[in-house]
Amino acid sequence: MKELDREYLLSTQDINFKFYQNEKDFVVDEVPLGEFLGKGNYLILKVQKVEITTWDMIAVFAELLDVPAQKIGYAGLKDKHATTTQYISVESKHERAFKNFQHKQIKILEKIRHSHSIRMGDLKGNRFSINLYDIDAMDAGKIEKVARKIAKTGLPNYFGYQRFGQDAGSIEQAKEMIKGELFIEDAKIKSFLISVYQSYYFNEWLRERVLLSREKNSSEFLLLSGDVYLSKDGKLSTPKLIPTKEFESKKLIPTGLLCGRDTFRARDDAREIETKYDDEYLQDKGYRREALIYPSEIDCKFVKKETMMNLSFTLPKGSYATVFLESIAGKNYSAKDVKQAKSKKNR
């Protein structure tokens, strides 16, 4: 089961640039849902981590506090090969344990009290700052123009290459596990492979919908009868008529299926395509995911001397910055493409 190319709505094959996932060129800042109260039984830590996974960072704090990792709240996973900031929560009784905390890859930037712990998904989005290399002034102008166009028309909300591991090998493992040909005892790995399985089929569904849109709707996302939409207040619905105006005003966003139990299925024309990427026998919980997202707060700074452009933007939670970069470049990237060589690391 091989992962197919991610296809995009715009055709931009003439833009070439390089980017690298490392602590200097790839910076991510979590955007919380709202302000923290400043009082309560939980301590919120704003933490900066460098070249370390969120899980490994949580393990460091769990060891420091002598508590199970499950006692430490966090909103989402952040890239390993980057400098990232995110918020975690612990019970306020542990506050003194952080007084002399030191770690070469982790820094506590702020501490504040709050009324409850942070739960998975408790974030608004992420702010990215990424350096793009080997570009001239003409490329920089094209990149900014395309980025702003995508922000208006929408970005196909694929899961990025990071979701599927090196060479997408986890896809085959997931398929074997679901078919009962591979037994996985570790609950965390099992949960990861189920999400890989769901993500793979979502991406393949979205790819077909994008190709259909390019063929029949001048590269604007084509809505079909029976599509399931997500409203701003988080409700799912399947309107009888195609809600063109509500879609154009971003009040309703079409969604795709992450197959599993207890979730909406599309109907009519939309269901004909969706059925190809559904597994109705999967016993794990299913979900709907936005088919499109809208990058915001785009800022571009071109440094002619370094043939480099810094591209900053904000994405909703669960979205991939690398997918935005792929859409701008009109090509797919892999982990191998963005791995930073040691000789270039300290430019």
- Of 25, 79, 227, 284, the active-site residue reads 79
Residue 163: count of CB within 10 angstroms of its CB: 19
Closest to 339 in 3D by CA, of 80, 126, 105, 129 = 80
Intra-chain end-to-end CA distance of the chain, in Å? 40
Closest to 41 in 3D by CA, of 98, 103, 151, 117 = 117
Q: What one-letter code names the amino acid at 325?
A: L
Residues 6 or more apart from 27 whose CB is under 8 A from it? 82, 83, 84, 128, 129, 130
CA 76 vs CA 126, 266, 319: distances in Å: 10, 28, 11
Asked if residue 158 lies in contact with residue 320, where contact means CB atoms within 8 angstroms, the answer is yes
Structure tokens belonging to residue 119: 């739960």
The radius of gyration of the chain from alpha carbons, rounded to an integer in Å, stands at: 21
The alpha carbon dihedral of 199, 130, 86, 156 has a sign of negative
Structure tokens belonging to residue 243: 């809600």
Q: 3-class DSSP state for residue 310?
A: strand
> Quick check: is 79 catalytic?
yes
Angstrom distance (rounded) from CA 298 to CA 309: 13
Angstrom distance (rounded) from CA 312 to CA 275: 37
Angstrom distance (rounded) from CA 52 to CA 82: 8
- Name residue, tokens 């084509």: 222
Active site residues: 79
